[in-house]
Amino acid sequence: MIRDVQLLRQRRRKRITVYSNLLSVATEGCNQQRRHSDARAKQHRERDRGSGTAEEEVVAKDLKGEEVAVTQ
């Protein structure tokens, strides 16, 4: 009886360790993916800023003298 209880506790501890390790791996994978996405977004922002392809709306006047929004 005592042996059975000890075995059950041992299995439970082992199961908790396995689940904990799985959770750590999943969390690290999510963190890695987020860092990768952040780095790619930063890279795209810098590329767009450097090449002048980032679109920007400015106010301009049309032929009639009315203000209009123009995308540059």
CA distance 33 to 23: 15
pLDDT tens-digit map of 4-35: 999 999 999 999 999 999 999 999 999 999 99
Q: What is the model's pLDDT at position 14?
A: 94
Q: What is the model's pLDDT at position 22?
A: 93
Q: Supply the pTM of this predicted model.
A: 0.45
Q: Partners of 9 in the beta sheet?
A: none
Question: In this structure, are residues 70 and 58 in contact, taking their beta carbons and an 8 Å threshold?
Answer: yes
pLDDT tens-digit map of 42-72: 888 888 776 655 555 566 776 677 766 666 5
Q: What is the model's pLDDT at position 66?
A: 72
- Of the two residues 36 and 69, the one the predictor is more confident about is 36
